[in-house]
């Protein structure tokens, strides 16, 4: 009961900010998400450190020289962001405060000019024009796996990697519908800091060298681990890893730091992993096209996610916060504005 009362008090305070956001924004909507009843400290524990920025030279080196966080900063994993029954109670309370019930299915389609200026918020060179034309959505092609939930572990790097590999396997000449193990990457990639964050580059290097097994073989716990199942003989036997099938990638690389490069790859080849600075406002996002003028100054953490398509005005991004967040687990970032530095470190993979 104490936890429930605390959640309601957090929600009461956060509602003020959510109301202001809806009054100030015309293209995005904000409301009840699994984060709406959390305080700022709790939210930060689910994100990468605010000062983490990928380093192309470091990431392309072998092995990586540093990790990104402190594992003591994270709490236990609860299976979802928090209890589903409590979330349902919060939703009914949310409606009583005058907010509309959650809805889904938003699809931005408004037309845009031929080119748009892209202000860069990082030291990376970001191309300044982005062509705006037609739509690509890999969800409609049946090659995007289900949205997952990283819980209270800052493991977005692992979910971005498995989401990419799952999509590539569904695009292959002989498609395979896989759900791959994020926990293996969290527990076994020595270049990550487990639930305190990690590097997509390091996880991909691990996958290329060792492969990754299915989710059913090594299930997700969202917790730090003192041992890696694939290198611990007793755990290997427990998980039946001697007979497990390992899925590997061949290579990975950074694209040019531009939205044009991302569009070209998405149009011709497939999804792209992106890194972005996450402002508090995005934690309350429920739909529409998100545009924020200064993510760098207002970021509460950093995050990896997967671009799975685009419309004329927005990037379609698959997240790892579960389907109770955003638009059924997805969000739309305004194209042509390098929103939250999303074009700075795009990563692509080859099977």
Catalytic residues: 156, 303, 319
When computed from its CA atoms, the radius of gyration of the chain, rounded to whole angstroms, is: 20
Q: What is the DSSP string of 77-125?
A: --SSSS-HHHHHHHHHHHHHTTPPPP-----------S-------SSS-
Structure tokens that stand for 230 in this block = 């694939």
Alpha helices in the chain (DSSP H): 2-24, 40-44, 56-60, 84-96, 156-171, 182-188, 200-210, 233-238, 259-268, 280-283, 295-298
Residue 250 φ/ψ, nearest 5 degrees: -90, -45
Q: In residues, how long is the chain?
A: 351
CA distance 155 to 271: 19
Contact 351, 172 (CB under 8 A): yes
23: left (phi over 0), alpha (psi -120 to 50) or beta: alpha
The kind and range of the H/E element at 349 are: strand 347-350
């Amino acid at each position: 009961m104490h936890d429930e009362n605390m959640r309601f008090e957090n929600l009461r305070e956060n509602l003020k900010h959510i109301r202001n956001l809806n009054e100030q924004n015309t293209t995005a909507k904000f409301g009840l998400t699994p984060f709406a009843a959390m305080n700022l400290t709790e939210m930060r524990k689910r994100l990468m450190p605010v000062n983490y920025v990928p380093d192309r030279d470091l990431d392309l080196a072998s092995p990586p020289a540093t990790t990104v966080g402190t594992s003591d900063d994270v709490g236990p994993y609860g299976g979802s962001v928090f209890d589903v029954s409590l979330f349902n109670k919060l939703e009914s309370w949310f409606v009583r405060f005058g907010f509309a019930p959650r809805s889904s299915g938003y699809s931005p389609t408004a037309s845009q000019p031929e080119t748009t200026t892209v202000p860069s918020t990082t030291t990376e060179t970001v191309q300044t024009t982005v062509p705006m034309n037609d739509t690509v959505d890999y969800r409609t092609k049946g090659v995007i796996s289900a949205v997952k939930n990283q819980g209270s572990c800052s493991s977005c790097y692992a979910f971005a990697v498995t989401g990419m590999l799952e999509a590539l396997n569904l695009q292959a000449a002989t498609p395979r519908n896989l759900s791959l193990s994020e926990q293996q990457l969290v527990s076994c990639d020595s270049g990550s800091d487990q639930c305190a964050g990690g590097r997509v580059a390091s996880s991909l290097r691990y996958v290329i060298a060792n492969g990754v097994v299915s989710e059913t073989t090594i299930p997700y716990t969202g917790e730090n681990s003192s041992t890696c199942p694939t290198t611990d003989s007793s755990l290997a036997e427990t998980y039946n890893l001697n007979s497990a099938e390992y899925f590997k990638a061949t290579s990975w690389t950074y694209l040019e730091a531009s939205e044009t490069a991302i569009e070209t790859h998405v149009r011709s080849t497939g999804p792209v992993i992106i890194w972005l600075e996450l402002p508090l406002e995005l934690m309350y996002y429920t739909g529409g096209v998100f545009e924020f003028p200064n993510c760098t100054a207002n970021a509460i953490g950093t995050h990896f996610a997967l671009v799975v398509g685009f419309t004329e005005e927005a990037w379609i991004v698959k997240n790892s916060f579960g389907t109770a967040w955003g638009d059924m687990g997805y969000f739309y970032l305004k194209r042509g504005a390098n929103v939250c530095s999303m074009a700075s470190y795009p990563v692509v993979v080859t099977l």
